[in-house]
A and B are shown apart, each in its own frame.
Chain A
Amino acid sequence: MSYLDYVTGEPVADDKAPAGPVAERWDTRRFQAKLVNPANRRKHRIIVVGTGLAGGSAGATLAEQGYQVVQFCFQDSPRRAHSIAAQGGINAAKNYRNDGDSIHRLFYDTVKGGDFRARESNVHRLAQISVEIIDQCVAQGVPFAREYGGLLDTRSFGGVQVSRTFYARGQTGQQLLLGAYQALSRQIAAGNVEMHARTEMLDLIVVDGRARGIVARDLITGEISTHYADAVVLASGGYGNVFYLSTNAMNSNATAVWRAHRRGAYFANPCFTQIHPTCIPRTGDHQSKLTLMSESLRNDGRIWVPKAQGDTRPAADIPEDERDYYLERIYPSFGNLVPRDIASRAAKNVCDEGRGVGPGGQGVYLDFADAIRRMGRKAVEEKYGNLFDMYERITAENPYEVPMRIYPAVHYTMGGLWVDYDLQTTIPGLFAIGEANFSDHGANRLGASALMQGLADGYFVLPATINDYLARHPHGEPVTDDHPAVQDVLAETEDRLHLLLSVDGDRTPDSFHRELGELMWEYCGMARTEEGLTKALRRIPEIREEFWRRIKVPGTGQEFNQSLEKANRIVDYLELAELMCLDALHRAESCGGHFREESQTPDGEAARRDEEFAYAAAWEFRGSGGRPPGVHGTPDGAAPVLHKEDLTFEYVHPTQRSYA
Chain B
Amino acid sequence: MRLNLRVWRQKNGGSEGAMATYAVDGISPDMSFLEMLDTLNEDLILRGEDPVAFDHDCREGICGACSLVINGDAHGPERTTTCQLHMRSFRDGDTIDVEPWRASAFPVVKDLVVDRSAFDRVIQAGGYITATTGSAPEAHATPVPKADADSAFEHAECIGCGACVAACPNGSAMLFTSAKINHLNVLPQGSPERETRVLDMVAQMDAEGFGGCTLTGECATACPKGIPLPSIAAMNREWLRARRKVKG
A interface residues, Cβ below 8 angstroms from B? 57, 60-61, 64, 75-80, 82, 84-85, 94, 96, 132, 134-141, 143-152, 168-169, 171, 174-175, 178, 181-183, 185-186, 188-189, 195, 197, 220, 249-252, 283-284, 286-289, 291-292, 393-396, 459-460, 463, 506, 508, 510-511, 552, 554-555, 559-560, 562-563
User: Is B53 in contact with A508, judged by CB distance below 8 angstroms?
Assistant: no
Q: Which residues of A contact B30 (CB under 8 A)?
A: 283-284, 395-396
* B55 at the A interface (CB under 8 A): yes
User: Is B144 in contact with A146, judged by CB distance below 8 angstroms?
Assistant: yes
User: Is B156 in contact with A175, judged by CB distance below 8 angstroms?
Assistant: yes
Q: Identify 11 residue pairs between A and B in the complex whose beta-carbon atoms are under 8 Å apart, listed by A's number.
A: A75-B57, A140-B128, A140-B189, A141-B187, A150-B144, A168-B156, A249-B63, A289-B60, A510-B38, A510-B42, A552-B46
Question: Min CB distance, B153 to chain A, in Å?
Answer: 4
Interface string of B40-73 (1 = CB under 8 A from A): 0110111011110101111110111100000000
Q: Which residues of B contact A84 (CB under 8 A)?
A: 58, 62-63
User: Is B35 in contact with A459, judged by CB distance below 8 angstroms?
Assistant: no
CA distance A64 to B135 in the complex (A): 11
User: Is A80 in contact with B63, judged by CB distance below 8 angstroms?
Assistant: yes
- 8 further A-B contacts with Cβ under 8 Å, apart from A76-B116, A139-B136, A283-B28, are A64-B133, A76-B115, A77-B117, A135-B139, A195-B120, A220-B110, A288-B38, A510-B38
User: Is B129 in contact with A144, judged by CB distance below 8 angstroms?
Assistant: no
- Of chain A, the residue at the smallest CB distance from B42 is A508
- Of chain A, the residue at the smallest CB distance from B67 is A76
User: Is A60 in contact with B115, judged by CB distance below 8 angstroms?
Assistant: no
User: Is B38 in contact with A139, judged by CB distance below 8 angstroms?
Assistant: no
CA distance A76 to B46 in the complex (A): 28
By Cβ-Cβ distance, the 5 closest A-B pairs, closest first, are A150-B143, A182-B128, A139-B136, A139-B131, A189-B124
Q: Given A64-B133, A141-B190, A182-B123, A554–B160 Cβ distance below 8 Å?
A: no
Q: Which residues of B contact A141 (CB under 8 A)?
A: 128-129, 152, 183-184, 187, 189-190
CA distance A146 to B124 in the complex (A): 28
User: Is A134 in contact with B143, judged by CB distance below 8 angstroms?
Assistant: no
- Of chain A, the residue at the smallest CB distance from B130 is A186
User: Is B49 in contact with A554, judged by CB distance below 8 angstroms?
Assistant: yes
CA distance A64 to B120 in the complex (A): 19
Q: Given A182-B123, A286-B38, A459–B133 Cβ distance below 8 Å?
A: yes
Q: Which residues of B contact A291 (CB under 8 A)?
A: 59-60
User: Is A57 in contact with B149, judged by CB distance below 8 angstroms?
Assistant: no
Q: How many A-B residue pairs have CB under 8 A?
A: 215
Q: Which residues of A contact B210 (CB under 8 A)?
A: none
Q: Given A146-B146, A178-B156, A197-B117, A85–B56 Cβ distance below 8 Å?
A: no
Question: Min CB distance, B193 to chain A, in Å?
Answer: 10
CA distance A560 to B156 in the complex (A): 31
CA distance A134 to B138 in the complex (A): 8
Q: Given A77-B116, A77-B117, A554-B51, A136–B133 Cβ distance below 8 Å?
A: yes
CA distance A79 to B119 in the complex (A): 10
Q: Given A145-B149, A175-B156, A508-B46, A182–B120 Cβ distance below 8 Å?
A: no
CA distance A147 to B62 in the complex (A): 25
Q: Which residues of B contact A85 (CB under 8 A)?
A: 58, 60, 62-63
Q: Given A79-B160, A182-B123, A64–B35 Cβ distance below 8 Å?
A: no
Question: Min CB distance, B75 to chain A, in Å?
Answer: 13
Question: Min CB distance, A555 to chain B, in Å?
Answer: 6
User: Is B139 in contact with A152, judged by CB distance below 8 angstroms?
Assistant: yes
User: Is B123 in contact with A185, judged by CB distance below 8 angstroms?
Assistant: yes
CA distance A511 to B43 in the complex (A): 12
User: Is A151 in contact with B117, judged by CB distance below 8 angstroms?
Assistant: no
B interface residues, Cβ below 8 angstroms from A? 11-12, 28-32, 34-35, 38-39, 41-42, 44-46, 48-51, 53, 55-60, 62-65, 80, 84, 86, 88, 109-110, 113, 115-117, 119-120, 123-125, 127-140, 142-146, 149-150, 152-153, 156-157, 159-160, 183-184, 187, 189-190
CA distance A103 to B65 in the complex (A): 38
Question: Min CB distance, A570 to chain B, in Å?
Answer: 14
Q: Which residues of B contact A560 (CB under 8 A)?
A: 12, 53, 109-110, 113
Q: Given A560-B109, A560-B110, A79–B190 Cβ distance below 8 Å?
A: no
User: Is B149 in contact with A182, judged by CB distance below 8 angstroms?
Assistant: no
User: Is B183 in contact with A143, judged by CB distance below 8 angstroms?
Assistant: yes
User: Is A250 in contact with B46, judged by CB distance below 8 angstroms?
Assistant: no
Question: Min CB distance, A103 to chain B, in Å?
Answer: 15
User: Is A188 in contact with B124, judged by CB distance below 8 angstroms?
Assistant: yes
User: Is B144 in contact with A79, judged by CB distance below 8 angstroms?
Assistant: no
CA distance A128 to B97 in the complex (A): 54
Q: Which residues of B contact A144 (CB under 8 A)?
A: 149
User: Is B48 in contact with A554, judged by CB distance below 8 angstroms?
Assistant: yes
Question: Min CB distance, A515 to chain B, in Å?
Answer: 14
User: Is A250 in contact with B56, judged by CB distance below 8 angstroms?
Assistant: yes
Q: Given A64-B132, A136-B133, A552-B45, A250–B59 Cβ distance below 8 Å?
A: yes
- Of chain A, the residue at the smallest CB distance from B133 is A61
Q: Which residues of B contact A178 (CB under 8 A)?
A: 156
User: Is B153 in contact with A169, judged by CB distance below 8 angstroms?
Assistant: yes
Question: Min CB distance, B156 to chain A, in Å?
Answer: 5
Q: Which residues of B contact A78 (CB under 8 A)?
A: 120
Q: Given A175-B156, A554-B50, A150–B146 Cβ distance below 8 Å?
A: yes
CA distance A140 to B183 in the complex (A): 11
Question: Min CB distance, B188 to chain A, in Å?
Answer: 10
Q: Which residues of B contact A182 (CB under 8 A)?
A: 123, 127-129
User: Is B86 in contact with A394, judged by CB distance below 8 angstroms?
Assistant: yes
Q: Which residues of B contact A181 (CB under 8 A)?
A: 123
Q: Which residues of A contact B143 (CB under 8 A)?
A: 146, 149-151
- Of chain A, the residue at the smallest CB distance from B161 is A80
Q: Which residues of B contact A562 (CB under 8 A)?
A: 51, 53
User: Is A463 in contact with B133, judged by CB distance below 8 angstroms?
Assistant: yes
Question: Min CB distance, B166 to chain A, in Å?
Answer: 15
Question: Min CB distance, B32 to chain A, in Å?
Answer: 7
User: Is B153 in contact with A183, judged by CB distance below 8 angstroms?
Assistant: no
User: Which has the most chain A C-beta neighbours within 10 Å: B41, B51, B139, B143?
Assistant: B139
CA distance A152 to B53 in the complex (A): 43
User: Is B124 in contact with A185, judged by CB distance below 8 angstroms?
Assistant: yes
User: Is B60 in contact with A135, judged by CB distance below 8 angstroms?
Assistant: no
Question: Min CB distance, A288 to chain B, in Å?
Answer: 5
CA distance A60 to B34 in the complex (A): 34
User: Is B140 in contact with A152, judged by CB distance below 8 angstroms?
Assistant: yes
Question: Min CB distance, A290 to chain B, in Å?
Answer: 9
User: Is A139 in contact with B62, judged by CB distance below 8 angstroms?
Assistant: no
CA distance A181 to B12 in the complex (A): 28
- Of chain B, the residue at the smallest CB distance from A92 is B139
Question: Min CB distance, B180 to chain A, in Å?
Answer: 8
- Of chain B, the residue at the smallest CB distance from A57 is B133
CA distance A567 to B112 in the complex (A): 21
User: Is B49 in contact with A79, judged by CB distance below 8 angstroms?
Assistant: no
User: Is A150 in contact with B51, judged by CB distance below 8 angstroms?
Assistant: no
CB within 8 A of B138: which of A77, A135, A171? Answer: A135
